[in-house]
Structure 1
Amino acid sequence: MDSLLGVNEELAEIEGQISDIFRALSNGFQKLEKIKDSNRQSRQLEELTAKMRDCKRLIKEFDRESKDSEYKNDSDTNKMLSEKKQTMIKELNSYVALKKQYTSNLENKRVDLFEGPGEGFAEENVLLASNMTNQQLMDQGNQMMDETDQAIERSKKVVHETIDVGTETAAALKSQTEQMSRIVNELDSIHFSIKKASQLVKEIGRQVNLQDITSLSCYMSDGFSYLVTYFDFLIRLQLIGALWPCFSLLWLVS
């Protein structure tokens, strides 16, 4: 830049701006190497691409100004300006090549998002990705991740609902088990009552007169038959009422 101050101040200013951009590009690509996230890499590449466009515009201005001042300069000065321009172009081209390399790597990563289990799907997805812009690729990738998250949430919901149904079923079975236990206790009590009634009938039979045995035994037989039939009806009725919820629950579960 100092060498151009004595030749042309405008050229010196343009060279200074180009040098600033080259330093920014160098720092930007060094930063890009440390970035692992694809979205952040894409944004960084967009910023670097914008700087390269500015640099290309400034080089064109440098070339135009150099040509405008050729008639004022000697041959050595014009040769020096031409060499500077070529040096700037080579340096800019090196950054353009570096940018293309990073862009290619980034696009390959994005294409991987579309690869399916078969070769046919992979080929089709590569063609699809090649026809999409960077923003469309990012949107498609985000959509696929959202759909995956939604599928996971639906699976979690099904698991929770299954656990809830299992818990309710276990609670219902526990309740039915307790009810069956109470029925068994009631059956034991009924059996004890029948036994006591039988003993009472025998005791009454021993206390009556012998001449009344025939008629009494007839009444006793009928009474005892009715008593047994009544207790049998009660037992069956209680068993049906107790087991009916169990049958209903098993029907619902199946």
Structure 2
Amino acid sequence: MDLAAVSEELAEIEGQIADIFRALSNGFQKLEKIKDVNRQSRQLEELTDKMRECKRLIKEFDTELKETESRNDANTRKMLNEKKQSMIKELNSYVALKKHNLENNKRVDLFDGPSEGFGEENVLLASSMTNQQLMDRGNQMMDETDQSIDRAKKVVQDTVDVGTETAAALKAQTEQMSRIVNELDSIHFSIQKASKLVKEIGRQVATDKCIMALLFLIVIGVIAIIIVKIVNPNNKDIRDIPGLAPPAMNRRLLWTPN
């Protein structure tokens, strides 16, 4: 059955996995001909990277398989599950082959560990495992992957929430700073206006002081003249000042009428 008729995504993933399997087959054949230990190690590292990529694609294949499961009939679902199990078996065979090469070379297995491959218990030849064992182990690994994805999603959501709160706080602070700037502009304008008013008041006060000083001098002059008149009433210099000249003497007539 053509996978493209079921899902284009499944067909594309299956094609990528097939390409990796061909590369793994050619790579292990090339590895048998390499005699240098360092070159063997580098070749094994390259093959390990390809197996990691193949594992990731098989997980994507299983995820897409679950999404399209409701649209397929029983025969199609059976065929797709058998296809997935076949790919898992083939990958495990290459994992076992790699481990065998590492043991022969007495090197540490770079593909072992909790986050690599399908686990030590799954590194078995396909002939020594049943379909049910492969399916159970595969489902367990998929569940663990889903849990890891859920945790990652939670971390991302928490990060988004923190970013949203930070953006809101920054927006509020920006608005507050804008209001402060506007208030400072108003204060600056008021200070300029008050400065002009003070200058005008200063000029007016200076003018008033000049007038008062002039009046004061006039009053002082008048007082001085009055004092001089009192002290020396015959002073001719002040005879012509109205109100300050001495009184005119009585004139007698040279003749008197009869």
Same fold? TM cut 0.5: no
Q: For the pair shown, which has the larger CA radius of gyration, 1 or 2? A: 2
- When normalised by structure 2's length, the TM-score is 0.41
- When normalised by structure 1's length, the TM-score is 0.42
